[in-house]
Structure 1
């Protein structure tokens, strides 16, 4: 188990360029802030690119990039832990969740929340490592499932073949998922909505992807739009194999539309490594800022596309919404 409690020195430093960019975002309300992930044709993160390497298209109209940094903004990270997992997956997830602690930088803040059919918010966003560790320990304990129920053999009268059984047959829970994943994501987004716009807002959900639509009050489309409206990225650690993509369709849609990512793991060890990969990707994204011009003025939703040169794949959120005053949101 990874239990590193000390953040790397490199993670604790915020550059002057990033501080100036954050100030610009706070002061000017007409800006669109993009977080961009760049990978090569082998799926490896690409570093060292410059502003001139990027081209941003808003409603397919190229924009002028006003500000650029090759590092991510400080994170507002909400870790959302699935409390309703099967024994094997739940045990592995509970053991791996504390590995996140070593990837939180001094300028970041985090909150740990849980869900099953209800949503259980954390106490607060904190940048204090000991408070964060205590929250992770609590989530780890809550996410640890109870041992599976193994019924004892029933002793019955072999002579009797009529009438009801002497003991009713056991009823097994879990035949249908007893959790509201969509509502949990919506509630998480409401908490992140209150965080400053000069921070990278991220939901990191640890789940098996199962969901019961009848338990949700918010549709998939409503949750996706709310995430886009508030520039919140979804990263998912899916307990399972990439072969089960159908089960993770909604999570895949959330992650791709919001500029996040979905990763699969089947053991505690791979889950720990995957969590490190997720935080590494979020930490090494590029940040681009522009003031939209020439896009479709009659549209409330504006599509986004970013390119970063031949041989590279640049991804960001699918678009953004404008308010009634034509101000990007955000």
Structure 2
């Protein structure tokens, strides 16, 4: 078994060999994943983590560089990338909008859109499946839906598979091979509690450092509230916002006679918060028979989103949370709603001259 460690406060996630020492001896702020496979090399500790939501590189704040007899001023600009879904008043996805239909605001200030794309971009995806004891009878339907989701995704996508009970395990790292994912699902054993937050933190950290594609998603399937994580909901959301992503889609299997209504209400609010803060959607089917259709809906949503980027008018060196809002208006349509992440924390990289750079 192998361990993938993720931190709430920040720095490292990577693969490491699990030792016989009890999990309880690990720091409480470090969620971990374990896997039945050969070790994968850990990312370089000293290398800056790749951003989870974009591709701009770090530059020195206000640094003037001399090259080939010319002086170039590196501007203090932060590129923010948004994946957006547009819905009309009936909840139907609108696919015909142009760049001019969109208006982006950061902390209430209008931003200038730099790039606009509406195409099926490849995605790096983490499939997170609750393997607590209460999931035992739901697993066949969930496994089928997971594989069908991958089959309906972009052929260039890459997926890794995680199951979580008392702690999160990884059963297959990045692949687009259906047979390997199916084999990974066969490792999952249903028992124990629900360490949802730890699984999200560790998986988000792993995406940020190892994903091949800038567009990134976590799809979570669970039937209850977290009762085993070292991280809290607030810490989990903050960590994901610190990483500029990924988008989280949740499927809450909150049905059955054994479900406590109070716990189900709390679990629903948690899954809704995780999705809304990151630009995803939370689904709550009434039976396992609906899970496959939901997986197909998620795959369709991911493949048909608009991708918008802009340079923030606020210096990344100022830090702090930035609230993002996107409007869409087009003649011939009524009121349109845009689903995207609600905000972010700028990732500031200290460059070699003491300056601050940015990348999103």
TM-score range, shorter chain: 0.7 to 0.9
Is 2:346 aligned against 1:322? yes
Contact 1:202/1:232 (8 A) holds in 2: yes
Residues 1-330 of structure 1 aligned to structure 2 (within 5 Å): 26=55, 28-29=57-58, 30-84=78-132, 85-127=134-176, 129=177, 132-139=178-185, 141-143=186-188, 145=190, 178-196=193-211, 199-212=214-227, 215-230=228-243, 231-240=245-254, 244-294=264-314, 298-309=318-329, 310-324=334-348, 327-328=357-358, 330=360
- How many Å apart are 1:49 and its aligned residue? 0.6
Gaps of 5+ in 2: 1-53, 59-77, 256-260, 350-355
Q: Which digits, 9 at most, give the CA deviation of each residue in 1:259-298, with x for residues without a partner?
A: 0111122334311000000111111110001111157974
Q: Which runs of 5+ in 1 are unaligned?
A: 1-24, 146-173
The aligned residue for residue 164 of structure 1 is: none
SS in 1 for 2:171: coil
SS of the residue 1:185 aligns to: helix
Cα displacement string for residues 65-97 of structure 1 (whole angstroms, at most 9, x for unaligned residues): 010001253200000111113443334323433
Give the superposition deviation at 1:312. Answer: 0.7
Shift in CA distance, 293/86, structure 1 to aligned 2, threshold 3 Å? closer
Q: 1: distance between equivalents of 2:90 and 2:157?
A: 30
**Counterparts of 1:126 and 1:239, CA distance in 2:** 27
Tell me the TM-score normalized by structure 1: 0.74
Relative to the length of structure 2, the TM-score reads 0.68
- Listed one character per residue, the Cα deviations across residues 35-64 of structure 1 (whole Å, up to 9, x for unaligned) are 111111111111011000000001110001
Count residues with an aligned counterpart. 269
- Structure 1, residues 126-159: CA drift from partner, whole Å, max 9, x if none? 23x3xx33223431x34575xxxxxxxxxxxxxx
CA RMSD of aligned residues (A): 2.5
Offset of 1:28 from its aligned partner? 4.7
Q: Would you tell me which structure has more helix in proportion to its own residues?
A: 1
On the 8 A contact 2:55/2:214 being kept in 1, the answer is: no
Higher strand share: 2
Q: Report deviation, 1:119.
A: 1.2
SS in 2 for 1:303: strand
Q: What secondary structure is seen at the aligned counterpart in 1 of 2:149?
A: helix
Distance 1:189 1:294, change over 3 A: closer
Q: CA deviation at 1:124?
A: 2.3
